[in-house]
Structure 1
Amino acid sequence: MAYLNASLDDDPGDGSLIRAALGDIARARGMSRVSRAAGMSREGLYRALSAEGNPEFATVMRVMRALGLQLRAA
């Protein structure tokens, strides 16, 4: 969670660090398991979270929920 929080803090505004952090966390927990929980294909998840990916906000939220994470405003 600290890793994702640091990515949220340091992201340059284009979502690149957040996307990379979510990809790292998803790979660590198992992309197949995360993709099933998020309701997407494994390939689609890899594509969305790749350096070239540009996931929709809904996709980011589904992945975060599948990882057991929540987005909060402070």
Structure 2
Amino acid sequence: MKITTKKWDTSEYLDNPEMIHEYLKAAFEEGNSELLMVAIGNVAKAKGMSEIARKTNLSRQNLYKALAPNSSPKFETIKKVVEALGCKLAVV
């Protein structure tokens, strides 16, 4: 019997607002900015990169670049993406 595998895609499991909230919260609490960027990218992919691009007025290509590992997007870009995901950035 042959076993087949596929690459893990976190975005496939981010299918409800509560899951997305907890995922982003956990990534933020880790304190690792690269991990947070990956998490935001996974949520954007789960929500639909075209839709997020439309809401942020960024091209899909620029959005993928901004959310890629080892990228250094502007804070404004991250703010737009987070808001397009239906979330808010806050200091408490």
- The residue type paired with residue 36 of structure 2 is I
Unaligned runs of 5+ in 1: none
Query: Runs (4+) of structure 1 moved beyond 2 Å?
Result: none
Q: Which is greater in Rg?
A: 2
How many residues are matched? 72
Distance in 2, Cα, partners of 1:2 & 1:16: 17
TM-score between both structures, scaled by the size of structure 2:
0.75
Contact 2:34–2:70 (CA under 8 A) maintained in structure 1: no
The aligned residue for residue 7 of structure 1 is: 27
CA RMSD of aligned residues (A): 0.8
Percentage identity across paired residues of the two chains: 36
1:66 pairs with 2:84: yes
Q: Deviations over 1:2-50 (max 9, x none)?
A: 11011111033xx101110110000001000001101100000000000
5+ long unaligned stretches in structure 2: 1-20
Match of 1:45 among 32, 53, 63: 63
Higher relative contact order (CA 8 A, sep 6+): 1
